[in-house]
Amino acid sequence: GAGVSQSPSNKVTEKGKDVELRCDPISGHTALYWYRQRLGQGLEFLIYFQGNSAPDKSGLPSDRFSAERTGESVSTLTIQRTQQEDSAVYLCASSLFDSGANVLTFGAGSRLTVL
Amino acid sequence: GNSVTQMEGPVTLSEEAFLTINCTYTATGYPSLFWYVQYPGEGLQLLLKATKADDKGSNKGFEATYRKETTSFHLEKGSVQVSDSAVYFCALSDGTGANSKLTFGKGITLSVRP
C-alpha cells in the first residue's frame, strides 16, 4: 500500500485480556519496527524485524509481549494478560535504506486503553 | 548504550519568532541523525536528516547541522508559523545501512501563537 497501515486504530480492553495489534508495512520495505508511546513520553523501542534475520527483541518490556512477522509482510504484536501500564499508542514503522540513512515511515498507531 | 537528550518543553512562541530546539546524543561510531515531527492527530513523519559530520539537513524552513565535536543536532527555524505547532523528536540510528534501529529523544511540544 501507499503507507504503513495499522489496526485497530483504537482498542479498549479489560485488564487481564489478550490483545493483538496488526501492522501492514509499505510493500518492498524489508525492515519493520514496533515502538510504544506512552502519554507524555518519547518513543520506546520494542522489536525490530529485518528480512530473514532473527528479530531484535531487546526492547520488549516483559514476556507478556511478543511479535511475529510473516516474510516481509504483515506483523502482529501480541500483549497477553494486559495491565493498565500497557496503555499507550503502539506505533509500527517500516523502512527503506535511502541516501545513506535508514528512514522510517510510521503508521498512525494503535491506541490501547486497558481498564 | 545510545541515547538522545532533548531540551525540556513545552515551548511556546509567537508567530515569526526564531526557534531553536536543542538535541544532543551519545553513540558509538558514526550514527545518522534525524528530526521527526508529529502534527496534531497525525503520525510521525521525517522532517530532516543528516548522515555524517558537518552535514546540514533542511526541510520546510527547518535546518539542523550534525556537529560531531559537540555531539549535537539542534533544530532551527528563522520564522515559525502557527502550522509548525507539533511535537518534535530527535533521533539517531545505531549502526549502518538497513540493519539499524532508531533511538528517539522524549520529544518536545511546540506551540506557536498567532
The per-residue pLDDT for B41 is 82
Question: Rounded to whole angstroms, how far apart are CA atoms B9 and B108?
Answer: 5
The CA-atom distances, in angstroms, between A52 and each of A55, A70, B23, B99 are 8, 10, 34, 12
Does the pLDDT of residue A103 top 70, yes or no? yes
Q: Identify the pLDDT of residue B97.
A: 54
**Torsion from C-alpha of A110, A103, B84, B112, nearest 10 degrees:** 70
Identify whether the C-beta of residue A6 lies closer than 8 Å to the C-beta of residue A107: yes
Q: What pLDDT is attached to residue B99?
A: 57
Encode pLDDT of A66-85 as tens digits: 999 987 789 999 999 999 99
Give the pLDDT band of residue A99 (cuts 50, 70, 90): low
Q: How far apart are CA A104 and CA A76, in angstroms?
A: 18
C-alpha distance from A80 to closest chain B C-alpha (Å): 25
Whether the per-residue pLDDT at A115 is higher than 90: the answer is yes
Tell me if A53 and B101 make a contact (CB, 8 A cut-off). Answer: no
pLDDT of residue B9: 85
Quote the CA–CA distance of B77 and B20 in Å, as a whole number. Answer: 7
- The per-residue pLDDT for A2 is 76
| Whole-number Å distance between alpha carbons of A43 and A50 | 20
Helices and strands in chain A, H and E counts? 0, 10
Q: What percent of chain A has pLDDT over 90?
A: 66
Is it the case that residue B21 has pLDDT exceeding 60?
yes
Task: Give the mean pLDDT of A93-99.
Answer: 76
Give the DSSP letter of residue B70.
T
Nearest to A102 among B32, B42, B106 (CB): B32
| Grid cell locating B66 | 550534525
Average pLDDT over every residue of B72-81: 97
Report d(CA B42, CA B25) in Å as an integer. 26
- The predicted model gives B81-107 an average pLDDT of 85
Q: What is the pLDDT of residue A72?
A: 78
Chain A residues near any Cβ of chain B (below 8 Å) = 4, 30-31, 33, 35, 41-43, 45, 48, 50, 53, 56, 91, 93, 95, 97, 99-109
Asked if B107 and A43 come within 8 Å (Cβ–Cβ), the reply is: yes
- The pLDDT assigned to A97 comes to 65
Tell me what pLDDT residue B100 has.
73
Whether A42 and B104 lie within 8 Å, measured CB to CB: yes
| Residue A96: per-residue pLDDT | 74
pLDDT beyond 60 at A1: no
For strands B86-93 and B23-26, give the pairing: unpaired
| Mean pLDDT, rounded, for B83-95 | 91
Say how many CA atoms lie within 13 Å of B88 toward its Cβ: 30
Query: Where does the pLDDT of residue B95 fall: very low under 50, low under 70, confident under 90, or very high at 90 and above?
Result: low
Q: Which of A74, A10, A86, A83 is nearest to A44 (CA)?
A: A86
